[in-house]
Amino acid sequence: MPRFAPARRSLVGFSLALLAALAPLGAAAQKASSAQVDAVSAVAECLATGLPQSWKRLQVIIELREPYAEIGGVRYLITRPDDQVEPFRPCDPSLPPVKLLALRDSQPAAERGWTKLILTMQPDASFDMKYEYPPALQTK
């Protein structure tokens, strides 16, 4: 089972009403695969528990020490309407990385070696996932 070092700080002002706002991710995801929509929907349910009442953007950032690693770090960041970025704690800090790491199984083999994943979500239930890969090994 993957192990992650989650962010330990949380914000005051949780809002369960945001769960309803994040629930229709399937409808908002135009180019996402069904595996991505399922994973992000599960992550959204967990994240909604820790969100403050007003927010502009949230991010889940997973950083792995090396490609294909099962152990790494995860940060949860919220951007407030005044553009202040703060950490927050979801209902289960280990659930988002487990769900997002499982997406590697649905990726083409050449795309599974990422070392950083940034999931960005908006209040309108839209989301974006970006992957970063280590620099290619240079041969002489």
Better pLDDT: 6 or 77 = 77
**Helices (runs of H) and strands (runs of E) counted in the chain:** 4, 6
| Predicted local distance difference test score (pLDDT) of residue 10 | 28
pTM of the model: 0.74
82: tokens are 């005044």
36: tokens are 């991505």
DSSP character at residue 70: S
CATH class of 3-132: alpha beta
Mean per-residue pLDDT, 70-89: 94
DSSP character at residue 104: G
Average pLDDT, the chain: 78
| Predicted local distance difference test score (pLDDT) of residue 64 | 96
In whole angstroms, how large is the CA radius of gyration of the chain? 15
Confidence of residue 91 (pLDDT cuts 50, 70, 90): confident
Given its phi and psi angles, is residue 68 left (phi above 0), alpha (psi -120 to 50 degrees) or beta? left
Confidence of residue 132 (pLDDT cuts 50, 70, 90): very high
